[in-house]
């Protein structure tokens, strides 16, 4: 029997024997060790699971980043194609203008512009000097010489 009943003065005391204390201590030690070992094993397994899950997440994130980079490359290529097409259109427009723009037409446009300024009735200070290469007029506005169709000589 693990317990022994002792009666003193009308009270009943139950005292464990030495064997009872040893058994309870052993069971408590085994339970504590089992609990500690179980928690350690679960924690260790959880850490291993977490590392594996983190590695899988990193692989997925890397795949997403690669797809995003590929998308950015496609966008950059499309933007380069757009710029190329715009440049081709600008070149064709410049070729068309250059084909129709003759020195005589430039002179005519300049003379028409001067006539329009003169007819506007506003207080304009335009000086017409019919001197220059091929009779291209030189215009001076606000003291700054401007040349259409030739090179300006700097005055000192």
Please report, in tens digits, the pLDDT of each residue of the chain (156 residues total). Answer: 344 555 556 555 565 577 777 888 899 999 998 888 888 777 777 777 788 888 899 999 999 999 999 999 999 999 999 999 999 999 999 888 888 777 777 778 878 887 888 788 777 666 555 556 666 665 555 555 555 554 444 444
Query: So where are the chain's domains?
Result: 3-100, 103-147
Closest CA to 129 of 151, 118, 114: 114
**CB-CB contact of 147 with 101 (8 Å):** no
What is the rounded distance in angstroms from the CA atom of residue 143 to the CA atom of residue 147? 13
Structure tokens at 100: 């129709």
């Amino acid at each position: 029997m693990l317990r022994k009943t002792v009666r003193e003065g009308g009270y009943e005391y139950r005292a464990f024997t030495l064997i009872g204390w040893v058994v309870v201590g052993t069971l408590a030690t085994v339970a504590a060790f089992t609990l500690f070992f179980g928690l350690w094993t679960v924690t260790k397994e959880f850490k291993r699971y977490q590392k594996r899950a983190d590695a899988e997440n990193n692989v997925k994130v890397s795949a997403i980043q690669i797809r995003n980079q590929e998308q950015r490359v496609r966008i950059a290529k499309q933007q380069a194609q757009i710029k190329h097409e715009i440049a081709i259109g600008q070149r064709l427009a410049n070729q068309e203008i250059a084909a129709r723009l003759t020195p005589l037409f430039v002179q005519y446009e300049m003379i028409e512009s001067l006539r329009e300024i003169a007819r506007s009735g506003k207080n304009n200070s335009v000086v017409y000097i019919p001197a220059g290469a091929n009779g291209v007029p030189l215009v001076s506005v606000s003291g700054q010489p401007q040349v259409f169709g030739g090179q300006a000589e700097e005055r000192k």
